[in-house]
Amino acid sequence: MMENFNHISNKVYKNLFTTKAYDELKQKSYRDTTLENAMLFNRDALFYVEFVHAVKFGDIGRVVNVLKVWMVMMQSKRMVPKYADAIFKTLGCVASYPEELSLLISWGGLMASRRLTCYKSIRTFGQRSSIMPKAAIGAGHVQQAFNISSLGTSHTVPNISKEVQILTEALEEYKIQEYIIERPTNEYIDPRRDLLGEGSQYPNSHGAYHTFCLDQRTPVNLGIVEPTVANGTSQEDEDE
């Protein structure tokens, strides 16, 4: 059972969550922009999910892996290159840390994330308590609109099986994760930008060469130069 699940998961990942699959999709005769945009979202969302989990677990190695990808994406056009420079500097500092310090940072990040979560919960408790009456009134309206019992918990603890069923039915009906020729909605959906693809082209650009190329010019002392006027004659000729 688990082998079949892993096989299907790997197949879905390769076909819907990778840059290779996205590039192959764009080469087809008909551009299904709905599926293209969905695949870009799938890929980029995985980076975000991985980053959040890595921070929560205090795993500096996984954080660095995601930052390397984001650094490339930030080099895309119309993005903020300062973010890419900041990430590059951070990665350089982390790479130069001794192994003991890297482990300390990893454990420190884990403990800091836990303390921050506790602090945030305590800090926002007072704010939340002030809006509890309003939230209760709002919850009453929601319960009436969706026919939820006042003692029920279905709106706070949703049925996962039911949620998965809703998602499955939506995917089957709209087929946004499938290649559809002559999809009607593509007329109104423009293709989104592939930030990772655009950013990976930056190192070969003229701007990158100009920014990171070492200046080979050498200053030369030419001594004292006689002053000249605008028409090219010397100051002595002007005096005569």
Establish if 236 belongs to a structural domain: no
Q: How far is CA 95 from CA 101, 123, 156, in A?
A: 11, 35, 44
Q: Is the pTM of this model over 0.75?
A: no
Establish if 221 belongs to a structural domain: no
Query: 10 Å Cβ neighbour count for 102?
Result: 16
Q: How far is CA 83 from CA 60, 152, 197, in A?
A: 19, 47, 17
User: Digits of tens for pLDDT over the chain (240 positions)?
Assistant: 788 989 999 999 999 999 999 999 999 999 999 999 999 999 999 999 999 999 888 888 888 899 999 988 988 877 667 888 888 888 888 778 777 766 666 555 555 545 444 434 434 434 444 444 444 445 555 566 666 666 666 656 667 788 889 888 988 888 989 999 999 989 999 999 999 998 888 777 777 667 666 777 888 887 887 777 655 555 555 555
3-state SS record for the chain = CHHHHHHHHHHHHHHHCCHHHHHHHHCCCCCCHHHHHHHHHHHHHHHHHHHHHHHHHCCHHHHHHHHHHHHHHCCCCCCCHHHHHHHHHHHHHHHHCCHHHHHHHHHHHHHHHHHHHHHHHHHHHHHHHHHHHHHHHHHHHHHHHCCCCCCCCCCCCCCHHHHHHHHHHHHHHHCCCCCCCCCHHHHHCCCCCCHHHHHHCHHHCHHHHHHHCCCCCCCCCCCCCCCECCCCCEHHHHHC
Establish if 72 belongs to a structural domain: yes
234 DSSP β-pair partners: 228
What pLDDT was estimated at residue 230?
58
Establish if 114 belongs to a structural domain: yes
Closest CA to 196 of 35, 28, 92, 84: 84
What pLDDT was estimated at residue 151?
63
Establish if 112 belongs to a structural domain: yes
**Range(s) of the domain holding residue 108:** 2-152+164-214
Buried b / exposed e over 159-185, threshold 16 CB at 10 Å, is eeeeeeeeeeeeeeeeebeeeeeebee
Establish if 229 belongs to a structural domain: no
Establish if 77 belongs to a structural domain: yes
**What's the total number of domains in the chain?**
1
Establish if 238 belongs to a structural domain: no
